[in-house]
Amino acid sequence: MKSAKTVAAIHDLSGVGRCALTVVMPVISVMGAQVCPVPTAVLSAHTAFSGIAAHDLTGFLPAYLAHWRALGLRFDAVYAGYLAGPEQAAIVEGFLNGQRDALKVLDPVMGDDGRLYAGMPEDMPAKWRGLCARADVVTPNMTEYALLTGEAYSLEPRTMAQAKKMLDALLEMGARSAVITSLPLEKGLANAYMRRGDKTAGICAFERLEAHYPGTGDLFASVLTGALLQGKALEAAVAQATAFTRRAVSRTMRLPTEVNYGVDLEPLLPLLWEGQADEA
C-alpha cells in the first residue's frame, strides 16, 4: 500500500461559483491524490458575479510557502492556475524551481472571449510565457493561446496542420507538452495535444454544446492532472478529461442551475473514482 500522491494547487478560492480550488480539490482528491491548496486570492464569488468581495493574497504567499520550505515538503505535482499579478508569477517561479521532481501542470488563466479578464495586468502574458518554460503540461484556451503567442485571436476553424503549428508554438516556449482546449477544427471542436519529445499530436473531438459555464477549464485541467498522476499517458489523460467535462456540462444543461454557479459536477465525482469517465 502506498501513500496518496500530493499536489500543490496554486489557484484562487471563490466561495460561490464552481471554479478554481472549489473544483480542483474535490476532483483531484477523488482521483486519489492529496490536494494542498495555495490560495492566490479569496473571493466571495467568482468575477462573473457583480458586487463581489475579494482579497489578493500576494503579500501572504511568501510566508505561506516559506513555512512549506521549512517543513521540507516535496510534492508529486504542482498545478497552477489563476495568478493575480506579476508578483505572484515570480513567487510561483521560485516555488517551481524548488520542486524540480514534481509534475508541473500550468493552466495560464488570464482571459476568455479574446481578451484579458477584467483587472488582469497587461504584462501577465509575458509572465506566463516565462512560467511555461518550466511546465510539463500547459493548458491554455484559445484566448490564452493568443495572449501567450501574440497571435490574433480567432475562432476560425483550423486544419490539423494548423493545429499542430499552434501546439508547436507553445512547445517552443519550453513546455514539454501542450494542450489547447476547445480548438475549432474543420469538423467541430477538439482538445488538441502534442508532446515536445516526439512531436506526437492528437485530438479529442467533442460536440459543441450551446452553453458557456465558468470553471470548465479548471475542471478539464484538474481531471487531466489527476489522470497523469495515476500514471496515464497524455493521450489517455486528455481523453478522460474531455469526456468528464463534456458529461458534466451536458448534465448541467438539463438542470435549472444558473450559468454563473458552474457545472453540477458533484454527483458525477464517483465516476472519477471508478475510472469510468472515459466511457461517458
Residue 267 has pLDDT above 90, yes or no: yes
The confidence band for 17, taking pLDDT boundaries of 50, 70 and 90, is very high
Cell of 162: 494548423
* Whole-angstrom distance, CA of residue 263 vs CA of residue 219: 9
What does the pLDDT average to over 62-67?
Answer: 98
- Considering the chain, what is the average pLDDT of its residues? 95
What does the pLDDT average to over 45-53?
Answer: 94
pLDDT of amino acid 275: 53
* Residue boundaries of the structural domains of the chain: 5-279
Q: For the segment 145-196, what is each residue's pLDDT rounded down to a tens digit?
A: 999 999 999 999 999 999 999 999 999 999 999 999 999 998 889 999 999 9
The confidence band for 13, taking pLDDT boundaries of 50, 70 and 90, is very high
pTM value is 0.95
The confidence band for 210, taking pLDDT boundaries of 50, 70 and 90, is confident
Residue 103 has pLDDT above 80, yes or no: yes
3-state DSSP of the chain: CCCCEEEEEEEEEECCCCCCHHHHHHHHHHCCEEEEEEEEEEECCCCCCCCCCEEECCCCHHHHHHHHHHCCCCCCEEEECCCCCHHHHHHHHHHHHCCCCCEEEECCCCEECCEECCCCCCCHHHHHHHHHCCCCEECCCHHHHHHHHCCCCCCCCECHHHHHHHHHHHHCCCCCEEEEEEEEECCEEEEEEEECCCCCEEEEEECCCCCCCCCHHHHHHHHHHHHHHCCCCHHHHHHHHHHHHHHHHHHHHCCCCCHHHCCCCHHHHHHHHHCCHHHC
The confidence band for 274, taking pLDDT boundaries of 50, 70 and 90, is low
Look-up of cell digits 499579478: 85
The confidence band for 73, taking pLDDT boundaries of 50, 70 and 90, is very high
What fold does the segment set 5-279 form as a domain?
UDP-N-acetylmuramoyl-L-alanine:D-glutamate ligase (3.40.1190)
pLDDT of amino acid 57: 98
